[in-house]
Amino acid sequence: MIGEIFSASINKDNNVLEISFNLIGDDSDVIRTDFIDMEVASDYNFNIIPKSYAFLVIDEEFDDVDEVVEIDENEIINFLNAYYALNPENMPEAQ
């Protein structure tokens, strides 16, 4: 079972969830990192980005606009628990 999410982001270039976490029972200094295609989350019927929740942040220095999405941490935890329960061989090694 997932204990804590340290970081989670979606790489828009390749549609991959980049996630760092630990498991309940891991030592506090243990970090596991994985890269999971967002299609996998969709295949498992999880919606990591709720309700197309997106808003714009303006970068004044470059006069550019970036899309920022809010990621649902509870949904990620539920997805990862289901994903690794069905695919234990994909669980990343502790670092």
Q: What is the pLDDT of residues 21-65, one digit of tens each?
A: 999 999 989 999 999 999 999 899 988 875 444 444 444 454 444
- The pTM score is 0.78
Which pLDDT belongs to residue 67? 53
Q: Taking a C-beta distance cutoff of 8 angstroms, is the pair 15, 78 a contact? A: no
CB 34 within 8 A of CB 92: yes
What is the band of 9 on the pLDDT scale with cuts at 50, 70, 90? confident
pLDDT for 85 equals 97
Q: Is residue 68 scored above 90 in pLDDT?
A: no
Please state, as a whole number, how many other Cβ atoms lie within 10 Å of the Cβ of residue 47: 13
Which residues are paired to 16 by β-bridges?
Answer: 11, 37
